[in-house]
Amino acid sequence: MRIKSLLRPGGLRKRWLINTAGVVFSLGLVCVMAVTASFAAYYYSNMQSDMEDRAETTTQFFANYLDQNYNAFYQSCITYAQTFEDRNILELQFINNQGDLVASSYGPWAGQAPATPEIQEAVSKRGAIPFVGKDPSTGERIMAVSSPMIYSNGEVIGVLRYVTSMRLADQQIVLVALICFMVLMMVLLVVFLSSRYYIRSIMVPVAEIIEKAKRIASGSYGVQIQTRYQDEIGELAQTINEMSSKIAQNEKMQAEFISQLSHELRTPLTVINGWSETLLADENMDADTRQGMKIISSEAKRLTEMVMELLDFTRMQDGRMTLAVEMTDIRSEFEDTVYMYGSRVKQDGIQLHYMENDEDIPEISCDPKRLRQVFLNILDNARKHGGDGRRIEASMSYEHDEVVVRIRDYGPGIPEDEIPLVKKKFYKGSSKARGTGIGLAVCDEIVEMHGGTLTLENAEGGGTLVTVRLPSAVL
């Protein structure tokens, strides 16, 4: 089973991958930078040490010529520069004490005299001085080492200078950085694939648990979760299975109790209703007794209606509720219900207004007794919860191959946070009206069995609007 919700923003899979990959990438990036910096420092240090050793060695070699005159000495420098073997990687320069370029391994007139600061520093400190930076004349990154050439009388007569371009060295460092980064990407790929496999081994059973838990929450009590895991996930599944079984058992016991109690109540209520009607037929009964008998008869009828609701509810719970379907003039059934109920609410000072129309409403395939029960229940709810408005409106129309019934009251309406819950069984919300809280649940079930829908909403201008839509297609 593929669970698309696992890919939703903020899902566990996304958070896991982002957090894991983020930590690995951050640590890997730090390692790449550290390795690159270490390699660069090591590479540059070796280059500098090699050039310093060359400078000291060459300076010591030329010390043998310092007892010659200046011209002979400079001619020796030129000859040495011309025969310098490593000219492909290094440039050897000889600079006199005036700062002029005397000789270079690139030729006697290699270019302008260098202007880097380590030359004068080598003269002043009388020692080899390194330099890493841009060549002022070309803008190229270079590394140079300048070493003073000291005459026998202690006078500095020139500077021996080794210089090389940093281009190749920088390319090597960039190459090392790229190799390290590629290794990091490969590690990230391995982490991603292994994490994906690991997450899947967790999220698939968790998704199954979520799906079954939603079914249990929606009323499918007794549903069991099949899992092969013996870890915390298996323990969670087992706990939910036990909960589901206990809820199913309790629901069954509750339904059996309600069914037995309802059947037991029907007989005495039938007797009470019958005797109250018989006694009310006595014309010699005094006024106070008659008023009391009317109250007894009214309450007995109310209890009978509650018992019938409970019986319908138990039938709905265990799947025994059925429909006696026949072709029905639904307009006549609805109008008869409205007119009958209108006389009842008129005694309470409530006006039930039927909004007639000339639309042609066809007969539909339905259970007329069950739909009459739905209409009566909705009208009774409008009286109980919206009676303060002293007005109820009812209408029927034919829209898009559906018969649409609308019943509206002008009461206080339903709090917005309670609208999604009002059709749930035993839910009464903030209403103080008497009732079991299962009437709308039964009505919703009946309408759904007809292939229709029952919706509640707050009407514009106040009050509650209940809409029942019934398809005209044959069941």
By C-alpha distance, which of 225, 215, 306, 296 is closest to 258? 306
Task: Write the DSSP symbol of residue 146.
Answer: E
226: which 2 tokens? Answer: 């099949």
Residue pair 259/311 in contact by the 8 Å Cβ criterion: yes
User: Residue 73 and residue 415: Cα distance in Å, rounded?
Assistant: 106
CB burial of residue 144 (10 Å; 0-12, 13-18, 19+): buried
CB burial of residue 67 (10 Å; 0-12, 13-18, 19+): exposed
Residue pair 159/123 in contact by the 8 Å Cβ criterion: yes
By C-alpha distance, which of 237, 230, 235, 201 is closest to 216? 237
Residue pair 236/209 in contact by the 8 Å Cβ criterion: yes
By C-alpha distance, which of 168, 167, 148 is closest to 156? 148
pLDDT for 7: 41
User: Residue 277 and residue 239: Cα distance in Å, rounded?
Assistant: 55
Q: Specify the 3-state DSSP secondary structure of 55.
A: helix
Residue pair 441/425 in contact by the 8 Å Cβ criterion: yes
Residue pair 13/215 in contact by the 8 Å Cβ criterion: no
Strands 351-355 and 391-399: parallel
User: Residue 333 and residue 444: Cα distance in Å, rounded?
Assistant: 18
Sequence-ordered strand ranges (E) for 182-314: none
Amino acid present at 208? E
| Domains of the chain listed by start with CATH number | 16-171 (3.30.450.20), 232-317 (1.10.287.130), 326-471 (3.30.565.10)
Look-up: residue for tokens 């839509």?
469
Tens digit of each residue's pLDDT, the chain (475 residues):
444 444 444 566 677 777 777 888 888 899 999 999 999 999 899 999 999 998 888 888 877 666 666 777 777 888 888 888 888 888 898 888 777 888 888 876 555 678 888 988 888 888 899 999 998 888 889 999 999 988 777 788 888 999 998 888 889 999 999 999 999 899 888 888 887 777 777 777 777 777 878 877 766 667 777 777 677 777 888 888 888 788 777 777 777 777 777 777 777 888 888 888 888 888 888 888 888 888 888 788 778 777 777 777 777 766 777 888 999 999 999 999 999 888 888 888 899 999 988 889 999 999 999 999 999 999 988 988 876 778 999 999 999 899 999 999 998 888 888 888 888 776 766 666 665 667 888 899 899 999 999 999 999 888 999 999 999 876 5
pLDDT for 430: 64
Look-up: residue for tokens 């609701």?
309
- The H or E element that residue 148 is part of is strand 141-150
User: Residue 236 and residue 41: Cα distance in Å, rounded?
Assistant: 55
User: Residue 42 and residue 358: Cα distance in Å, rounded?
Assistant: 97
Q: How far is CA 34 from CA 46, 242, 251, in A?
A: 18, 55, 66
Residue pair 353/392 in contact by the 8 Å Cβ criterion: yes
pLDDT for 404: 96
Task: Write the DSSP symbol of residue 420.
Answer: G
The β-bridge partners of 468 are 405, 454
Look-up: residue for tokens 């069914």?
259
